[in-house]
């Protein structure tokens, strides 16, 4: 998953950032979690094109990178909620900038 050793040049920080939030789904997950804590099935409803397996994979990777946290409630059926961590909130300006750029791009 994450590299710990980059062949750093001027683009190295961009590469590191894109490795953590890149791909089709991670940015969308983070965008939704910036505003509220969300249960797994609600995330699935918000992103109807993602498979359960892919959502689980993306959530695990974001959790491993300490961008989101998972809280499991001891209930039947189990209840799992995801929220953004303080570290994950540091991505807010990036996610908001991606959103703003996307709005302008879609207007073209």
- Within-domain flag for 42: yes
Q: Among positive and negative, which fits the CA dihedral 5, 8, 13, 18?
A: negative
Query: What CATH code is carried by the domain that includes residue 78?
Result: 1.10.10.10
Q: How confident is the model at residue 13 (pLDDT cuts 50, 70, 90)?
A: confident
- Within-domain flag for 1: no
- Within-domain flag for 76: yes
Q: What is the pLDDT of residue 16?
A: 85
- Within-domain flag for 2: no
- Within-domain flag for 6: no
Q: What is the pLDDT of residue 4?
A: 56
Whole-model pTM? 0.85
Domain hosting 52: range is 12-107
Q: Smallest Cα–Cα separation from 34: which of 21, 53, 49?
A: 21
Q: What is the pLDDT of residue 1?
A: 44
Whether the pLDDT of residue 6 is over 60: the answer is: no
- Within-domain flag for 7: no
């Amino acid at each position: 998953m994450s590299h710990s050793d980059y062949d750093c040049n001027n683009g190295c920080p961009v590469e590191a950032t894109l490795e953590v939030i890149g791909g089709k789904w991670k940015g969308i997950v983070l965008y939704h979690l910036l505003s509220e804590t969300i249960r797994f099935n609600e995330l699935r409803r918000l992103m109807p094109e993602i498979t359960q397996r892919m959502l689980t994979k993306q959530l695990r990777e974001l959790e491993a990178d300490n961008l989101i946290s998972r809280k499991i409630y001891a209930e039947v059926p189990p209840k799992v909620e995801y929220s953004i961590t303080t570290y994950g909130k540091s991505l807010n300006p990036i996610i908001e900038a991606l959103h703003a750029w996307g709005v302008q791009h879609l207007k073209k």
